[in-house]
Structure 1
Amino acid sequence: MYDYIKGMVDYIGPEYIVVDNGGIGYQVLTPNPFIYSAQFKKETQVFLYHYVREDMISLYGFQSRQEKALFTKLLNVTGIGPKGALAILASGQVDQVVQAIENEDETFLVKFPGVGKKTARQMILDLKGKLENIIPDAFPNLFNEGVPTAINQNGHTEELDEAILALKALGYSEKEIQKVAKKLQVEEMTTEQYIKKALQMMLR
């Protein structure tokens, strides 16, 4: 529902910040509210996740889309709720968390509050291999070791990968997308151009 909010940071507490936007103070729970100390009484942008449950409606805020994306993924893991996900993100080291999951490093994961061996194992089972597309900018070489960052192991540029994600969001099947992707990967274009070209090819 909400992607982000821009406004003045009016309050900073142990659990949340208050962002004043248009005279309304929005309570936003964040992994580490005090990161926003430098923005106190200044305008800032906070990426939001709107959490709705029968007995709870809350806004969770993050400094980047990468943090927000990882938070969303963590919520899908059995045994991890919003509070646990915030604790995992509080270190600010998104890349370390992802590396631990990819390397099946349970010893690292159990260091977080509320994460035992069972939950750590569940995180690995549920998320390993599924985090590449949501936070590629944080660690461009993590999933493509030895491969230049401009072109990944599939022979795709970052722009083509972004275009593929956009096409998936539009509802095109994996089979349809991969068929045109093979033809497009030999060309160098912007993400927007890839999308337009792919649509033209699929709509012929």
Structure 2
Amino acid sequence: MIDYITGIVKYIHTDHVVLECGNIGYKINCPNPFIYQKQIGNTTTIFTYQHVREDILALYGFENLDERDLFMKLIQVSGIGPKGALAILASGKPDQVVTAIENEDEKFLTRFPGVGKKTARQMILDLKGKLTNWTEVKIEEKPKVEKPEDGLQDAFEALEALGYGQKEIKKVAPQLEGESGLSTDQYIKKALQLLLN
């Protein structure tokens, strides 16, 4: 298995990032590619999981080992494939997912895309009590304090990288500025909803 790839971030898309390493561009599916927005043109490391099936070969990438570890636990649950696990991680923080499983919070788990009551119950049955050590191995990171205005500005930059023009961004800007305390991811998701309507 490819454990991680260190390379230059060439570009990002709504569901993946392309990392160039040794003159090869690796398409890596990520829960949130926008976290690499400021890394475009720079070298970064993405931890990976290589999914191999008869008709598919795909790379899934994660910012740290915690995310990848939880992803690998989730895909062991019946009814959850790699895309489903990625959607869960994109919609919720790993510690929130673990807490919901440990507390048997089916209501919280069914908020995730593609997770119904049956799948939520299966997640609890398969994973409860098996996630207590999942945070033991951590990558040392400096805590990042994100101001609301920084999150909004980063969202605007991400929208530009996705090909939206200033005219389109200005059209949704007032509605986004009216939302306070959102993260960059939440601003981006809100903007995409407005732009696609």
Q: Which TM class, normalised by the smaller chain length?
A: 0.5 to 0.7
Instruction: Indicate the residue corresponding to 2:125 in structure 1.
Output: 125
Q: Distance in 1 between matches of 2:43 and 2:108?
A: 36
Q: Distance in 2 between matches of 1:102 and 1:126?
A: 11
Q: Distance in 1 between matches of 2:55 and 2:134?
A: 29
Amino acid corresponding to residue 72 of structure 2 in structure 1: T
Instruction: Indicate the residue corresponding to 1:102 in structure 2.
Output: 102
Unaligned runs of at least 5 residues, structure 2: 139-197
Q: Distance in 2 between matches of 1:115 and 1:55?
A: 25
Instruction: Indicate the residue corresponding to 2:5 in structure 1.
Output: 5
Q: Distance in 1 between matches of 2:47 and 2:92?
A: 15
1:136: how far off? 3.3
CA RMSD of aligned residues (A): 1.2
Tell me if structure 1 keeps the 8 A contact 2:65–2:137: no
1:123: how far off? 0.1
Q: How does 1:193-204 map to 2 (within 5 A)?
A: none
Q: Distance in 1 between matches of 2:17 and 2:61?
A: 9
Instruction: Indicate the residue corresponding to 1:27 in structure 2.
Output: 27
Q: Distance in 1 between matches of 2:64 and 2:24?
A: 23
Q: How many residues align?
A: 138
Unaligned runs of at least 5 residues, structure 1: 139-204
Q: Are 1:61 and 2:80 an aligned pair?
A: no
Q: Distance in 2 between matches of 1:61 and 1:78?
A: 22
Amino acid corresponding to residue 17 of structure 2 in structure 1: I
Q: Distance in 2 between matches of 1:30 and 1:97?
A: 17
1:134: how far off? 2.2
Q: Distance in 1 between matches of 2:126 and 2:74?
A: 9
1:92: how far off? 5.3
Q: Deviations over 1:78-133 (max 9, x none)?
A: 11011110011013511000000000000000000000000000000000010122
Q: Deviations over 1:59-85 (max 9, x none)?
A: 000000000000001000011011110
Q: 1:137 to 1:91 in 2, by over 3 A?
A: farther
Q: How does 1:1-204 map to 2 (within 5 A)?
A: 1-91=1-91, 93-136=93-136
Tell me if structure 1 keeps the 8 A contact 2:46–2:63: yes
Percent identity over paired residues:
62
Higher relative contact order (CA 8 A, sep 6+): 2
1:2: how far off? 1.0
Q: Distance in 2 between matches of 1:13 and 1:86?
A: 15
Amino acid corresponding to residue 2 of structure 1 in structure 2: I
Q: Distance in 1 between matches of 2:4 and 2:137?
A: 19
Q: Distance in 2 between matches of 1:62 and 1:6?
A: 12
Q: Distance in 2 between matches of 1:37 and 1:112?
A: 25
TM-score calculated relative to the size of structure 2:
0.68
